[in-house]
Structure 1
Amino acid sequence: MREFNLIINGNSVGTADYFDVINPADKSIIARCPKASVEQLNDAVAAAKAAFPAWSALTYEQRRDQLMQLADAVEDHGEELMTLLTKEQGKPTKGFADLGAGFELGGTLAWIRATASMDLESETIQDNDIARIELHRKPLGVVGSITPWNYPLLIGIWHIIPALLTGNTVVMKPSEMTPLTVLRFGEIAKAILPDGVLNVVTGEGDIGAAMTSHKDIQKIVFTGSTPTGKAIMKSAADNLTRLTLELGGNDAGIVLADADIAACAPKIFATSFINNGQTCAALKRLYVHESVHDELCEALTNMAKSMKTGNGFDEDTDFGPLQNQKQLDIVKALAEDAKDRGANFLCGGEVTDESGYFYPITLVSNINDGARLVDEEQFGPILPIIKFSDVEEAIASANRLQVGLGGSVWSQDIKEAQSIASRLECGTVWINNHAMVQPDAPFGGVKDSGFGVEFGEAGLKEFTFIQTVQIFKS
């Protein structure tokens, strides 16, 4: 069994303590992961701080060149990284609609290359006989990245590539549930990037807490739960550390009476159950007009019944296990509450394989606002389908919760769909799709789903401060 090491200042560093990493498909121990001490975290931050002056002094073109080399190296190690993803996260190598580990690797490569191709140019806001005023974007310093267990490599890339491109240095902490792919990525990166520019530490909550309160970390980027995001805000307050928080969502989709069900159903299914529902921006509450409710339920049920849940290394597996026991318990509890309320389980709802953290694709109708399955983010393969008769009811229902990551409207009338979309309280609204993110389109939440954005020029700016230069001519 392999023991992985921390990556600090370009070196592979062991620790006194290690913890086990579990394969969610069979509950076996697959690796030993280093448990960093606070002193080792301090070493990583010090290395990043020392590397910052030289890295930030490089031009965008020079940093871009190294990041493109990194993308090529990741691609060269793609099969190895995909295997680690399936082992530690559970997602199939291929899976339903090719949305498994290969999809995460492909997204990783696309995001590195697309983000590294961007620039932040200086702006001139005044140039007259008196003065020229320029706005320059300057890097912040050391950035701390804390990532979740659902897309360990891809979300890590979302955090670190814009930080590195804009001249910052980085300390990464992946989830203790899925640390291996990021540690291997760190090993690959240290052969390309200068020492200290990218450091990887692993551990449990104490290391995350030490990062968020660290006086030499200028910014924290966090993707995860709302309660943890709020704790990070408190921890970061004393140092006025900048934050980007992408927190929990419970995205609503509204299917109007004129929706083309044959066209919509496959997209709704895919975007509800992508990564087994363990996706921040997955469709998690589906409000369907009564006139098309039964047709859509039947179409989704037929698709669900054709899916196989199993070990991600089996070629015919569509969906793997949930990543951990805690998440499986949450899904089971929400399902039991729905059953107690008399909801109709169109398919799934019963665990039949306890060899891993498996839960079948599950569709639930005859359920309303107020049920836990509707009001709480399930983050798993179970979708509540709520019937409505008045679109005003659906809009109110979509907005009633204190979350606002994404939402969608499904209709053939684009003008009407846009009108409804403008009233949804969320950071991104899709029309006739859901959960589609791309490197050049800003993405972020409102309300308890966080603040700040990722992706595109707006995402790059999150890793900089404005320096105003006023040049007087007389």
Structure 2
Amino acid sequence: MTTTVVQKNQGGLAATLAAGPDDQNVSEVINPATGQVSARYRRATREDVDSAVKRAEAAFKVWGATPPVERAEALLKIADAIEEEAEEFARLESEDVGKPITHARGDMPWMWDVMRFFAGAARVSSVPAAGEYANGSTSWVRREPLGVVGLITPWNYPLLMAIWKIAPALAAGNTVLLKPASLTPATTIKLVEVANRFLPEGVLNLIIGDRESGTAMVEHPSIRKISLTGATSTGKFVAATASKTLKRLGLELGGKAPVLVFADSPVRQTARDLVEFGFSNSGQSCTAPCRVIVEESIYDEFVEAYCAEVKSLVVGDPADPETGMGPLISEHHMNQVLGFIERAREAGAKIPVGGNRIDRPGWFVEPTVVTEVKQTDEIVQNEVFGPVVTIQSAKDDDEMLQLANDVNFGLSASVWTTNLSRTLRFSRELQFGTVWVNQHEYNASEMPFGGFGESGMGYELTAHGIDEYSQVKHVMVKPDLNA
């Protein structure tokens, strides 16, 4: 068996993919809490990608013609199996990502919810009703699968992002090449093992690899769509490369979420909630509330309350149920985050809490608060993707809105207020794909998720998410040639 192909009912995939001591073309997985190698996998080559595409093309002839009810039944069985093995999925996610085990367990119910949601959506048509619209003819629309699609997922939420993508892709009738980030493949490997108990051979194919294998997917002429969740720089490269074969694209990219805290919000409760959201997954989230903008009259009170909550965070071993924040994903990423903090210091910012590496094995950085920043500062404009939150002040609603929209990203934002008029205005004028009010980072399978500007194109979730993996065909029939 090759690196990329997972055959039906074939167990022990992780062992099959594990690289031997003499293998040269390998990816090493580092436990971010210890800095030690936890696994080694053979990387897929361009030849492996081509082989997987051929298998997926063959499988599409059957899966693409499978009735929606049968596709739905397969997704429901996969959802049940994920729920049954939830603890093992949570353990693997915690070890690979460095996410506290309690948080990994808390994420699990959404995994099977998304799968079950798209099982239902597979059976619901979103196309117009058939009818006589012109020229004495009857028109109808067919919603058809694209064919073979390539799904590329990130390292920060590897299991959730894989499910967000494979559920609508499979529900629509496509066959799939799924490539997880090489830093965190464990839950994706297990997901493919579980899913292939219920899918026909060749429908879901695994790619373990690096930039070379990802590029091979984007360039492959037989892959009809690429869906990527990742950095904006990666998204730009994928868009440019995919344009050569005019592939469909779904790009969920970076974010720099503004959080607008008004004087009518309960200061201490708001601070407590925002610390919980802001440092979840060590701030490694594209929707993290990392850019707090506070109404001037409560600024000092809020900063004091926020810093007190940050100081109470328990940072440590992800396997410890008491841990509230774990490590960053890699040494390289840790150094990037520390670089942002150091340059902010040099630019005159203040750091009332944190700002340093923690002296212990692994890639730990203190939860950090940065104040007295300018809107043009790098740390305000660019995605840090770590446990670093800036706090600014603004004198009124207009300045709050201006500062919030003054970045290139447009993924998510939140407004903390009890004023209904303000809520309506800001939900309309904030240029972000998701706007929360008095909460942050919650989503629902029924609602779309996607960004504006440099945060990407297309959307995930919602029943219309299946349309992202479909093409529509207008059929127009004139029954009487003599008419």
The answer to whether the superposition gives a TM-score over 0.5 is yes
The separation in 1 between residues aligned to 2:280 and 2:110, in whole angstroms, is 14
Q: Which string of whole-angstrom CA distances, capped at 9 and with x for unpartnered residues, describes residues 257-277 of structure 1?
A: 322224422332222222111
Shift of 1:147: 0.6
Question: Partner amino acid for 1:357?
Answer: W
Amino acid at match of 2:371: S
Task: Give the Cα–Cα distance (whole angstroms) in 2 for the partners of residues 331 and 418 of structure 1.
Answer: 35
Alpha-carbon contact 2:139-2:474 (below 8 Å) kept: yes
Structure 1 length-normalised TM: 0.94
Distance of 2:406 and 2:428 partners within structure 1: 15
Paired with 1:75 and 1:5, the residues of 2 have a C-alpha distance of 27
Pairs within 5 Å for 1:308-319: 308-319=314-325
Question: Partner residue of 1:251?
Answer: 257
1:53 counterpart = 2:61: yes
Q: Does 1:21 align with 2:29?
A: yes
Does residue 298 (structure 1) correspond to residue 296 (structure 2)? The answer is no
* CA-atom RMSD in angstroms: 1.8
Asked whether 1:449 is paired with 2:455, we answer: yes
SS at match of 1:438: coil
Are 1:112 and 2:115 an aligned pair?
yes
Displacement of 1:131 in angstroms is 2.8
2: distance between equivalents of 1:323 and 1:276? 9
Q: Is the 8 A contact 1:453 1:462 kept in 2?
A: yes
2:229 to 223, 226, 238: 223
Q: Once the 2 structures are TM-superposed, how far is the Cα of residue 88 of structure 1 from its aligned partner?
A: 1.1
Deviation at 1:133, TM superposition (A): 2.0
1:180 shift after superposition: 1.5
Q: 1:416 aligns with which of 422, 430, 446?
A: 422
Partner of 1:159: 165
Alignment match, 2:128? 123
Partner Cα distance (1:85, 1:142) in 2: 27
Report deviation, 1:169: 0.6
Q: Distance in 2 between matches of 1:317 and 1:299?
A: 21
Cα pair 1:124 1:132 within 8 Å, conserved: no
1:426-451 Cα offsets, whole Å, 9 max, x none, are 11111112222211101111111110
Q: How far is the alpha carbon of 1:398 from its aligned partner?
A: 1.6
SS of corresponding position for 1:33: strand
Give the secondary-structure state (helix, strand or coil) at the position aligned to 2:129. Answer: strand
Greater CA drift, 456-465 or 112-121: 112-121
Give the deviation of 1:135 after TM superposition: 2.0
Question: Which of 90, 102, 105 does residue 102 from structure 1 map onto?
Answer: 105
1:350/1:359 contact within 8 Å kept: yes
Could you list the per-position Cα deviations for residues 387-415 of structure 1 after superposition, in whole angstroms to 9, with x for gaps in the alignment? 11132222122222111111122111022
Question: Equivalent residue for 2:92?
Answer: 84
8 Å CA contact 1:104, 1:151 repeated in 2: no
* One-letter code aligned to 2:184: T
Which has the higher mean CA deviation after the structures are superposed, 183-192 or 9-18?
A: 9-18
Equivalent position SS for 2:390:
strand
> Which residue number corresponds to residue 391 of structure 2?
385
Task: Provide, for residues 228-278 of structure 1, a one-character-per-residue CA deviation record: whole Å limited to 9, x for no partner.
Answer: 111111111121110000011111111123222244223322222221111
1:7 corresponds in structure 2 to 5
- Aligned partners of 2:327, 2:177: CA distance in 1, in Å? 30
Unaligned ranges ≥5, structure 1: 95-99
Cα 1:346/1:125, change in 2 over 3 Å: farther
Over 6 Å off, 4+ runs: none
Does structure 2 retain, via aligned residues, the 8 Å contact 1:9–1:48?
no
TM-score between the two structures when normalised by the length of structure 2: 0.92
- In structure 1, C-alpha distance between the alignment counterparts of 2:6 and 2:424, rounded to whole Å: 49
SS of the counterpart of 1:149?
A: coil
Long gaps (5+) in structure 2: none
Partners of 2:358 and 2:184 in 1: how far apart?
25
Deviation at 1:136, TM superposition (A): 2.1
Matched, 1:69 2:77: yes
Bigger CA drift: 436-445 or 128-137?
128-137
Question: How far did residue 9 of structure 1 move?
Answer: 4.3
